[in-house]
Amino acid sequence: MQEARQAFLVDTLKKLLGQDSPTGFTDGVVTAAETIARELGFAARRTNKGNLIITVPGREPGRKVGLCAHVDTLGLMVRSITADGMLMVTKVGGPLLPTLDGEYCRIYTRQGQVYTGTVLSLSPSVHVQDDAATRPRDEKNMAVRIDEKVHGKEDVEALGIAAGDYVCYDPKTVVTGSGFVKSRFLDDKASAACLLTLLWQMQQTGTRPRYESYFTLTVHEEVGHGGATLPTVDELLAVDMGCIGEDLSCTEYQVSICAKDNGGPYDYGMVSRLEKLAKDHGVAYAVDIYPHYGSDVGAAWRAGMDCRAALIGPGVHASHGMERTHLDALHATLDLAGLYLELA
């Protein structure tokens, strides 16, 4: 069972990561996730804002539970075109721009064309510019070089490229023989793959959660309002990346349980229950406080949802940069989410 679960998990994760989906440009990845859910026999629908809601019947009446992860990612958008035909960009979400220097990308026009390019510093050559190594890597000093024969702004405009077009950079996904998953956008497609794999597990084993559950994949988390229109539930468990680094105890091999982030503490009772479940069932976990973090729970609470809520997720190193986690962390996240749902 574990081997089959891992095969489905990895395949699903690769499918999600293979779809460009910066916030506001998520139809492709939602379609991929919806197809997977429907093929597993679960009812799925989209909201007006684009979230995907998958309904899972429970064994007992009386309560409603929500699990959510987000499939929107970081990205870039064309801001303007320079006189020599480069694309100046603005951030979608909060990518670490210095890590994008030299990354390949795709430019999607509103007419349906797709062009390739490279994100570069405006001082890209050590043989030419004195400040090639020292020039800031920020929105004012980085641009996209298009892989087309263009000599100026008019040539770029003739291609159909304009302000507001999305620029999507490569995830560069690799799964190593030692079990590491290296890729951009593990935040939060790793968690979304876990939720879809949990559906697969229920389908394979004939199990169901104790209470009616809504699995929601949100599409505006990276800009702060993904959870603002979630289904009304009594409890909400967000599944998003766990933080690794200074003053934190989580590793790439564990599921992280967040006690507090920028928005304040999560529900004390839920956090305590999740920690006890992990401890009692031998799930590798850590409890941490995230110093620079917000989740769909915060958006749901700010929108007025009256629910208890908590946050778990696989430990991810180098978030918003060149991320990495391990299959152990994904399995731990799956196990804890299953225990939370009281599958039987």
The yes-or-no answer on residue 275 being catalytic is no
Query: What are the tens digits of pLDDT across the range 119-158?
Result: 999 999 999 999 999 999 999 999 999 999 999 999 999 9
Mean confidence (pLDDT) of the chain: 97
Query: What are the tens digits of pLDDT across the range 33-49?
Result: 999 999 999 999 999 99
Residues 239-258, mean pLDDT to the nearest whole number: 97
* CB environment 218-257: b (16+ within 10 A), e (fewer): bbbbbbbbbbbbbbebebbbbbbbbbbeeebebbbbbbbb
Long-range contacts of 129-133 (CB under 8 A, 24+ apart): none
Structural contact between residues 208 and 57, judged by C-beta atoms closer than 8 angstroms: yes
Asked if residue 51 has pLDDT above 90, the reply is yes
Catalytic residue among 103, 212, 221, 252: 221
Asked if residue 278 has pLDDT above 90, the reply is yes
Residues 238-256, mean pLDDT to the nearest whole number: 97
* pTM to 2 decimal places: 0.97
Beta carbons within 8 Å of 337's beta carbon, 6+ residues apart: 67, 194, 195, 198, 237, 239, 312
Percent of the chain with pLDDT over 70: 100
3-state SS assignment for residue 73: strand
- Residue 1: which pLDDT band, with cuts at 50, 70 and 90? confident
Residue type, 310: A
Q: Which pLDDT does position 33 carry in this prediction?
A: 98
Q: Which pLDDT does position 275 carry in this prediction?
A: 98
Q: Which pLDDT does position 115 carry in this prediction?
A: 98
Q: Which pLDDT does position 305 carry in this prediction?
A: 97
Query: What are the tens digits of pLDDT across the range 182-235?
Result: 999 999 999 999 999 999 999 999 999 999 999 999 999 999 999 999 999 999
The beta strands (E) that lie in 122-195 are given as 142-146, 166-169, 174-175, 180-182
Query: What are the tens digits of pLDDT across the range 79-111?
Result: 999 999 999 999 999 999 999 999 999 999 999
Length of the chain: 344
The Cα–Cα gap between 115 and 157 comes to 13
